[in-house]
Structure 1
Amino acid sequence: MSTVTAEKQKKIKPLNNIAERGLNVFNEDYLIDDEHENPDAIVARSYNMHSMEFGNNLKAIARAGAGVNNIPVEQCTEQGIVVFNTPGANANAVKEMVLTSLMASSRNVFDGIAWAKTLEGEGEQVGKLVESGKKQFVGKEIKGKTLGVIGLGAIGALVANDALALDMDVIGFDPFISVNTAWNLSRNVQRANSIEELFATADYITVHVPYTDETGGMFNEESFNLMKSGVHILNFSRGELVNEADMAEALESGKVGKYITDFPNENVLKMKNAIPIPHLGASTKESEENCAVMAARQVKDFLETGNIVNSVNFPSASLPYTGRRRVTAFHRNVPNMVGQITSALSNYDLNIADMVNRSRGEYAYTMVDIEDEINGDITPSLEKKINQIEGIVTTRII
């Protein structure tokens, strides 16, 4: 039974329907309250948070998913609010949808099913009509064809490896591939030296990169001109990666044979040979649970220890938590910040047992474990002392 009073319970505000398995990560030291106006943390899926006002008690937002376009990340950074995402938690679900769509589109399954539905009411003639009409849906096998994978993160690497198992040739492009991903990627995946090389080589192209200023509209008239005629393009990342006017023209001319996208809109629905999937890539019970559990664990660990993993706006930083009092500070990434923080601690005759400082762009994060016990009476004074340092965003003593 918890000895934590209701007043001292950490408040968690879920937005959207967060899988119960994820919320169960929070024990009796936490209160789950979707109406709380000033929680310690928010766990969300696709809820649009750009118009929300965040209370001064909010320390973290966890997105149960990979994309954070629904969260005002820059505003959160300025307020010292850590934004987490859950990369890889839904990777298997998306991978399965990519491979399903790859094979089904190549065999014209979607068009064939839609046509078969029109035979309703033909009675005993349905069988004969099927046999005579099926020739219009003759497709092609993916075995021996080349799949180009743009972005070899958690999803792209799984797609690439499984496509190899389906006897496809696979060429990948990712100038920012991580060491961990490289270890998980089959050595039989060919490396493209440029995205132009991939465009020119692939029979099918699947994209798994975030939407940024650099990637927006990367599929356009210029890139289509580099591709093989009749190429199939699969987009389970972001609709904005595609210049839709150019895609419509490429589909009409046959330069692009099929466009399979998880992000339908009015423009896509009008395109010839576009296959609009209603954002089902990560829509599995398992994926939603995996994302919720991962998000909850990251929030819980941060609130209890200050450790940061998978933040999109602050650096990853961790120290083994031994139960010592810990001072954490978000601050501007400027010279002598660590010196000023440790100087503030020395003013209270506190010895440092361990420390970590990590930076990311204009901001940094420092954690300091204290060797000595901190008298509860000095905690507010110490926090105030550190907060007075120019460049400090937020301070917390755990």
Structure 2
Amino acid sequence: MTYDIKIFNEIAAEGLQRFDQAHYTFNAGKTPDAILLRSQKLHDYTFPESVLAVARAGAGTNNIPVERCTEQGIVVFNTPGANANAVKELVLANLLLSVRPILAGANWVNSLTGDNIEEQVEANKKTFAGNELEGKKLGVIGLGAIGSMIANDAYRLGMDVSGYDPFVSVDTAWNISRRVKRVLDLDELLADSDFITIHVPLTEKNHHLIGADELAKMKNSAVLLNFARGELVDSQAVIRAIDNGQLKSYITDFAEPDLLRHDKIIVLPHLGASTSEAETNCAKMAASTLKTYLETGNIKCSVNFPAVEMVFRVPYRIAIINRNVPNLIGAVTSTVAEKGYNIDNLSNRSRGDFAYTLLDINDLTAEQAQSLVDDIRQLDNVVRVRAIKHPTLEEA
């Protein structure tokens, strides 16, 4: 079996090397089996019927029409945590820059002339005095892969750290230091924190998560950092709050015209994941999850379908995407029984309005597997079904 991957953007070579040349091609035709990308916007893209999956080498999927993909039975993958360390380090660096005028001091020194540079420095260095992070209160909104790392490392810097995340996972909870205080009320975090950093995905519900009302609850001396998504913060409300003395400063990784050239706002050129290590990690993770799905049907790190992993021990596996309605699995198993086959293993999970099923049947030939696929495809509410040949097992 050969799969063709349509590549958008420049993907790190270490990721592409995960696809062996004997079974994979890149951009070979107009009917790709999957798409691998970073920042390319696909909202106006017409997906060929052949596309089974889209994998983004990054955490956010705002550039992908996830809902449309779901309706078409296209699994969308992302790479949560692969760039977490890069973002964490950038946030910590900007916490330091927010209390110490390091850049201003360096620029000033480089502007000096004359033979008495040392004297000038000693006479004027008080102009660039700052503060320390130790003992200050940091509020982390969102305790996922990035937020939890920031919370832990900020505590090690001596900060008093609180975290707010009503949806924190069990895995994340195990990784957060017990000295990080979990806050159940966002208003409490806003009111108590000297620094607030946001690390949640952008959804319709949390668009402008931080607006005029939230800013009014913060300390006048607070610093707000946004390295998650620009739309999480109402920029106009931030500018008004700063100009009115309700907020000390704003640091963001997302450039907007109105934020530029304001002396209390630092805007970076979207540097969060811009390290060679992060790009490599994201590419490798995206390639691996995509390869696993194409070759085994197993799903991990999908943003629109449930995680389903089942050991693959038969020559052919049937993978089914369907609407989450009653009796669908019963209809599938009845179809299998009518053909006289015994099910060796089955795994079914749902997520919202859709469900995903893996079905293993012993001793199917290629023709039998395809015939079963054709019959299941005729069932109501089945969106996509395919037979997957085991990479190494041969037919009986």
| TM-score under structure 1 length normalisation | 0.94
User: Match of 1:273, as an amino acid?
Assistant: K
Residue 252 of structure 1 pairs with residue 243 of structure 2: yes
SS in 1 for 2:36: strand
What is the Cα deviation at residue 45 of structure 1? Answer: 0.4
2:210 to 219, 222, 240: 219
Q: How does 1:296-335 map to 2 (within 5 A)?
A: 296-335=287-326
CA 1:208–1:43: 2 relative to 1, 3 Å: same
Q: How does 1:1-398 map to 2 (within 5 A)?
A: 8-34=1-27, 36-117=29-110, 119=111, 122-124=113-115, 126-371=117-362, 373-398=363-388
Distance in 2, Cα, partners of 1:42 & 1:242: 31
Distance in 1, Cα, partners of 2:23 & 2:100: 51
Distance in 2, Cα, partners of 1:67 & 1:393: 25
SS in 1 for 2:115: helix
Please list the CA deviations of residues 160-191 of structure 1 after superposition, one character each: whole Å capped at 9, or x if unmatched: 00011111110010000000000000000011
Distance in 2, Cα, partners of 1:214 & 1:377: 48
Of 269-278 and 385-394, deviating more is: 269-278
Distance in 1, Cα, partners of 2:377 & 2:96: 57
CA 1:126–1:50: 2 relative to 1, 3 Å: farther
SS in 2 for 1:65: coil
CA 1:133–1:30: 2 relative to 1, 3 Å: farther
What is the Cα deviation at residue 17 of structure 1? Answer: 0.5
What is the Cα deviation at residue 108 of structure 1? Answer: 1.9
User: Match of 2:160, as an amino acid?
Assistant: D
Distance in 1, Cα, partners of 2:367 & 2:212: 66
Of 268-277 and 188-197, deviating more is: 268-277
CA 1:266–1:132: 2 relative to 1, 3 Å: farther
In the other structure, the counterpart of 1:4 is none
Please list the CA deviations of residues 254-301 of structure 1 after superposition, one character each: whole Å capped at 9, or x if unmatched: 322121101012111043311111111111111001000000000111
Distance in 1, Cα, partners of 2:185 & 2:312: 44
Number of positions where the alignment pairs a residue of Structure 1 with one of Structure 2: 388
SS in 1 for 2:322: strand
RMSD: 1.5
For structure 2, the 5+ residue unaligned runs are 389-396
Kept in 1, the 8 Å contact 2:142–2:165? The answer is yes
SS in 1 for 2:41: coil
SS in 2 for 1:271: coil
Distance in 1, Cα, partners of 2:25 & 2:83: 24
Kept in 2, the 8 Å contact 1:203–1:228? The answer is yes
Kept in 2, the 8 Å contact 1:314–1:365? The answer is yes
| TM-score under structure 2 length normalisation | 0.94
User: Match of 2:322, as an amino acid?
Assistant: H
For structure 1, the 5+ residue unaligned runs are 1-7
What is the Cα deviation at residue 148 of structure 1? Answer: 0.4
User: Match of 1:325, as an amino acid?
Assistant: Y
SS in 2 for 1:170: strand
Kept in 1, the 8 Å contact 2:316–2:366? The answer is no
What is the Cα deviation at residue 127 of structure 1? Answer: 4.1
Distance in 1, Cα, partners of 2:86 & 2:220: 30
SS in 2 for 1:101: helix
Kept in 1, the 8 Å contact 2:42–2:65? The answer is yes
SS in 1 for 2:94: helix
Distance in 2, Cα, partners of 1:129 & 1:261: 33
SS in 1 for 2:201: coil
SS in 1 for 2:349: strand
In the other structure, the counterpart of 2:393 is none
Distance in 2, Cα, partners of 1:35 & 1:255: 56
Distance in 2, Cα, partners of 1:34 & 1:125: 62
Please list the CA deviations of residues 326-351 of structure 1 after superposition, one character each: whole Å capped at 9, or x if unmatched: 11100000000101111111122111
What is the Cα deviation at residue 75 of structure 1? Answer: 1.0
Distance in 2, Cα, partners of 1:230 & 1:271: 17
Please list the CA deviations of residues 137-178 of structure 1 after superposition, one character each: whole Å capped at 9, or x if unmatched: 321100011110000000000000001111111001000000
Please list the CA deviations of residues 195-232 of structure 1 after superposition, one character each: whole Å capped at 9, or x if unmatched: 00000111111110011122211222211111111111
What is the Cα deviation at residue 125 of structure 1? Answer: 5.2
Distance in 2, Cα, partners of 1:391 & 1:43: 28
CA 1:222–1:329: 2 relative to 1, 3 Å: same
